[in-house]
Structure 1
């Protein structure tokens, strides 16, 4: 959190948010009093239970305003200009008479019947034919929808294009569609100037390749058996085996040529095998192609299995959600159409469509795909649940606490989408270096086949040409361009399994090179659950009156300190007529004709309040009519795993740890001593924290990166400034997902040290693969120049090297 002890800058001073005035605090109870439930298709006591739970929920959250009903636009279409009441009528199964809107209360929800409105119970008693006729008349009376919205709603289902096809025709159709999609991706990458991601074979391609290579092996063996009896027959068999294996390679080369990619592994294999065939090495030319196909098939099988184990979080959100109103009427909507404070029903075996708070129901949720916690969490009343979690238990009723775009799963998907184009410098150098290296190898091979024969007459030119072709095989970059990106992909997948989501291999590499970590204090190193430790009164004000005055003044503030004060006050705060917030200092409020100041010592001094004592700790001072009235001391608890996490970071190479906070010196230093932090900077305003972060970035130790760790609520600027912005927990929003490089979906700091350990291991394995491939290829090149290595030995070594490096990269998934 950017500034737990400083006031948030999101709310300008002197402005009161709509719906947050004390006069609106009783709105939920007034709405509940108007509800009359009719007979519906649920159990008899279900509506009564819902209403009782909603009433208790409304009393638990008095500060939430009643939001105006607005239609959720569909992506890509203009907003439909439909009145709220008419939009609600489109979704209800029973017709309702058009009601006049009250201009003074536009926020009133249509789910609540107004005076004079027919009750749903009376409408549901209509016979079925009359109900259908009424619905048709009501639909005709509605204004026309926006064209794009109507097209989306009335779009017919697309027929299955493979219907009526045979198995072979269906396979050919899917293969053609897949090739078209791959061509489209290649063209888009070519226009953007980016490297094409490696795409492994599908299972159908693997089966077809296996059959093709098996047939080629049969013809090759027949040619070897008949070579002594008839050279002509053997040549024909060799030619058939060669054509079976070379035609797919030639097709790939031709396809790459049409997209402007002239040098790749297929060109090297094609040239070397064709040259060997022309030199009369018919069997060896086919062996080279067969071994290349076998190696590619095996490596793609490993790569495909890795892809499957790293499934993205896109299939964990249900397409439809059940929203119920306060009359117990259920309707189906998409998760994106769910609004804050809507009531959602979830049945056992379904995935939760939105982040929310449980109002009724008991069971368990499995949120492994989000948080990485393998053990299901129990669900009870007032528990928080996340969208995408799998629910098992009784019928669950929850209240939505966020829009779908601000849900935790939406943040994860946004991070994954943005991370697709962010490559580590090591991966980027391998991909671009291989593309630039192949033309150089081709030129060197040509020179090797021409220059040595001019100075060494003892070795025939045919031998030098063969060695040049062998070098083309040796320098095939398949192992390099597969194993290094696969290493980073495996690392990202392993992090996702732990509930840690990163923006591409760039974040993995930077996380592996951390040398400095900057922490926010409240909510990150501490629990963030502030509670009152003691209250200091004066002669005119006792402890109860001090707490009452502070709660009244702070009731409209969203700051954690204000929330803690208001929560500690058991009664309803007094109504205030004026409210002004000073970011990082406190608030000013007016009760009747009396002025209140509630905040830190800096606010009291700036306003000329005299007699303010200097109390150690997190202190909220209260001034009444310009005179000091008392103070409230709050305390927080250090997370039990914080010391272990900081120690783990230092053992992995972090040289410096820092705290940036707006809290006072005493609690900050106590937290630093308990956790093991090296440096503290306290009493910072929000804008001062960003400046201090910039200063710290200029003092990073050589050859390292810096990370900022916060909860992503009010520390957006710090997350953007750091090399690695780490947002902890699920309290962040869309802005925090855009600013952060790493999302950790729990508040446990041990995940931070886990993330660094996995990233360091991932980076080391990627380096191992790169060094191993380059070292072996250099050795093979030297042996080839000396005439020791043959072409089939070179391709066999390359195949084994590819399989070895791919398996080495895949073992990242087993890192603890």
Structure 2
């Protein structure tokens, strides 16, 4: 019987002895749990468990009981991963740790994202476990200050190794292969150097290559092989060792080998190591570029800030600035921290955060964001967020989370690579056996060449890099364009969406009503009557009242000072003027005040039909004005809707407004489908109805009332200028309020998924096509046998090709520029 493992879990919602009993019974109901005493004072449970109980079973039992276990998520930097087999090995180690709920490992970013039950293990213990398995690991610091790990030093070291190996390998290659390609050269070597001396010279140089620059393959590959977890380094070490050891036997004990088979393959061993070092160097350089976008984000914020202290300006490191301190941003400087403007006016370039190229005007009361660039005006601002709480830090974390995501398409890759390397080794052994049994003379030499070629050419590097590199570059470019993927799998889901449903207010429209019609129905001058109406609205906080005040200001009308104003919330307002009592309000309010509404006429009906909210003004008992207010449609909305429809997507409006208002907006934008008069939960039901026919739906919204619909949709897209609740419920966040971000999101999703498919097609197709060639299937017909050197070159080229293809995503253009 297995020895039980003991876990300490931190529980939530424990408040009394009965809670303790329920939580303990929930844990002990899990098959495999021996005991689970719960401590109310420390709010912990100490669980003794063995198979078949799993960490997930414990978490699920506690969730159902209402006492969820506290969860922690950490990010680990993991080194020495070279292929998909390494990723699988690290993931299996983490998932086998009691307490771990989820583990995702990303080869391109060399990070592991681990979620575990608090108290069951620690980040240091997880890092130590991976390190012990041969993958040095450390807990990642705050990404807002560190960014992706710099690959320059690693690339530089690999470059030196590759150049040294190339310099040592070149003479070996020329001596051996030169003689095959140009027979007179072979005779010259035999005559002037001698065959034995030539072999000794090749052996010395190859030994230096293998145990100098190439030592890393043996240092990592052999231990992995002995642990029963072979990966890329193990395949390279096996292939190079086979060629090298066979050559040593041919030099020192040729009689051991069958007659005619004592040949040297030193050049194959040396060239294999050299080409793969060159490939690894190029791969590392390319990997470094995959993190450029997020690194650029990290570097946006300056290191120092100018702080005002008792009237003096002091330059201080940003890390030492605290909230509510006053900072000064001079013209042309970057904003060091999130802040609220106290004094000054300027235009601020927010393109690096929002993706929008037009600078934004900032004045007293406006917010400014760390990393943005101040224009020509000086600003004084109060710090509102520091360190990991700044918008820039949150964006970086969001992008990193998305980059570490495991897309559904990755499941196929995982299943194949989990068995790939052992299968390759078995195929190589089978290849050697078949050649020895059925091959022509010298069968043993040909068997060695074929076996080594299979081992080398089948390294699963390209498979491991195919998906994560595209995700890293795609989500990084998305962030530069103001599109933040909060959930990585939304990147795949979005390209399969059939319907894009928009909330109306604040999404398709500006979200701020404006006065667009003021029809005077008596002989009073417009500015005088509008001044009276504005004066009556001064005390009201209703959005329509604020629209009238803004409209009066724009038209040069001064709000009049009225006597005895009375506000009827949600209905209207009355006040005394020199012309008698003024009433401003809705149709029903006017009727209740005893005012004849016979003059509203065709103009009022026309305004209502076009989506305006219409209310009225009366002096005494006579109607004197029709007032039309409308929430303006965003200037780019029609263009964006047309672009989505041109891309084959159905566009719908889901709104709480009435059919007339929503229909007017839909008519102007050319949208056929409208779902109206929906409460927050009603919006979610309408999204569900759209989904009922098997369609995938993306919902775009910005308000608290949009959160249920954002959560219900297959992909929720939140306007970044909206509420925190909406943003938290969304899968994708547009960091600016521009609707162009919606099209950018779809374009990035489509292009990234196309890129991933291209990478996978190449990675799988390369192995499917070339492994049989390496094994020698073409030899009986055409006498072709793939050289291990060509195999090494092809393997290195495959990884570089996958990375180079992914890097093309850096050049995705903003959708609005394409649409204009």
1:293-339: CA deviations, max 9, x gaps? 111111221221342354253333356655669x8577878698435
Q: Residues of 1 paired with 2:561 and 2:194: CA distance?
A: 100
Verify: 1:271 aligned to 2:234, yes or no: no
Q: Cα distance, 1:203 vs. partner?
A: 2.9
Alignment equivalent of 2:699, drawn from 708, 711, 721: 708
Contact 2:456/2:791 (8 A) holds in 1 = yes
Contact 1:318/1:351 (8 A) holds in 2 = yes
TM-score (norm 1): 0.64
Q: Which residue of 1 aligns with 2:164?
A: 215
1:568-590: CA deviations, max 9, x gaps? 68759999999999xxxx58999
Verify: 1:799 aligned to 2:748, yes or no: no
Q: Which residue of 1 aligns with 2:646?
A: 651
Q: Which residue of 1 aligns with 2:811?
A: 814
1:371-410: CA deviations, max 9, x gaps? 2244655666777643321224343234678899886435
Which has the higher mean CA deviation after the structures are superposed, 182-191 or 628-637? 182-191
Alignment equivalent of 2:730, drawn from 734, 740, 756: 740
Which residues of 2 match residues 478-497 of structure 1 at below 5 A? 478-497=461-480
Q: Residues of 1 paired with 2:703 and 2:691: CA distance?
A: 19
Q: Cα distance, 1:343 vs. partner?
A: 5.7
Q: Residues of 2 paired with 1:309 and 1:318: CA distance?
A: 17
Q: Which residue of 1 aligns with 2:374?
A: 391
Unaligned ranges ≥5, structure 2: 1-76, 111-148, 176-192, 248-264, 523-528, 553-557, 576-582, 780-784, 814-820
Alignment equivalent of 2:491, drawn from 508, 517, 525: 508
Q: Cα distance, 1:449 vs. partner?
A: 3.4
Q: Which residue of 1 aligns with 2:286?
A: 302
Shift in alpha-carbon separation, 1:322–1:813, aligned structure 2, 3 A: same
Which residues of 2 match residues 257-296 of structure 1 at below 5 A? 262-280=229-247, 281-296=265-280
Q: Residues of 1 paired with 2:634 and 2:536: CA distance?
A: 31
Q: Give the 3-state SS of the residue equivalent to 1:662 in structure 2.
A: coil
Verify: 1:779 aligned to 2:769, yes or no: yes
Name the structure with the higher strand share: 2
Shift in alpha-carbon separation, 1:355–1:282, aligned structure 2, 3 A: closer
TM-score (norm 2): 0.63
Q: Cα distance, 1:432 vs. partner?
A: 5.3
Which residues of 2 match residues 585-624 of structure 1 at below 5 A? 616=608, 617-619=611-613
Contact 2:699/2:710 (8 A) holds in 1 = yes
Q: Which residue of 1 aligns with 2:211?
A: 243
Contact 2:343/2:380 (8 A) holds in 1 = yes
Q: Which residue of 2 aligns with 1:696?
A: 690
Q: Cα distance, 1:726 vs. partner?
A: 1.7
Q: Which residue of 1 aligns with 2:107?
A: 197
Q: Which residue of 1 aligns with 2:323?
A: 338
Alignment equivalent of 2:221, drawn from 253, 262, 265: 253
Q: Residues of 1 paired with 2:338 and 2:567: CA distance?
A: 31
Contact 2:403/2:471 (8 A) holds in 1 = no
Alignment equivalent of 1:636, drawn from 631, 634, 637: 631
Shift in alpha-carbon separation, 1:309–1:647, aligned structure 2, 3 A: same
Which residues of 2 match residues 38-117 of structure 1 at below 5 A? none
Q: Cα distance, 1:238 vs. partner?
A: 2.6
Which has the higher mean CA deviation after the structures are superposed, 260-269 or 719-728? 260-269
Which has the higher mean CA deviation after the structures are superposed, 217-226 or 768-777? 217-226
Alignment equivalent of 1:673, drawn from 655, 662, 667: 667
Q: Residues of 1 paired with 2:164 and 2:421: CA distance?
A: 31
Q: Which residue of 2 aligns with 1:725?
A: 716
Q: Residues of 1 paired with 2:275 and 2:794: CA distance?
A: 10
Q: Which residue of 1 aligns with 2:676?
A: 682
Alignment equivalent of 2:450, drawn from 451, 467, 479: 467
Unaligned ranges ≥5, structure 1: 1-176, 592-596
Contact 2:294/2:399 (8 A) holds in 1 = no
Q: Residues of 2 paired with 1:628 and 1:506: CA distance?
A: 62
Contact 1:263/1:435 (8 A) holds in 2 = no
Q: Give the 3-state SS of the residue equivalent to 2:484 in structure 1.
A: strand
Q: Which residue of 2 aligns with 1:11?
A: none
1:222-276: CA deviations, max 9, x gaps? 5564672423444333322222244201222367579x78132112211222222
Q: Residues of 1 paired with 2:383 and 2:659: CA distance?
A: 39
Shift in alpha-carbon separation, 1:306–1:580, aligned structure 2, 3 A: farther
Q: Residues of 2 paired with 1:769 and 1:670: CA distance?
A: 46
RMSD: 4.9
Q: Give the 3-state SS of the residue equivalent to 1:528 in structure 2.
A: coil
Q: Residues of 1 paired with 2:574 and 2:791: CA distance?
A: 85
Q: Which residue of 2 aligns with 1:99?
A: none
Q: Which residue of 1 aligns with 2:745?
A: 755
Shift in alpha-carbon separation, 1:353–1:589, aligned structure 2, 3 A: farther
Q: Residues of 2 paired with 1:474 and 1:189: CA distance?
A: 29
Q: Cα distance, 1:694 vs. partner?
A: 2.5
Q: Residues of 2 paired with 1:810 and 1:772: CA distance?
A: 15
Contact 2:655/2:677 (8 A) holds in 1 = yes
Q: Residues of 1 paired with 2:301 and 2:682: CA distance?
A: 40
Q: Residues of 1 paired with 2:613 and 2:339: CA distance?
A: 32
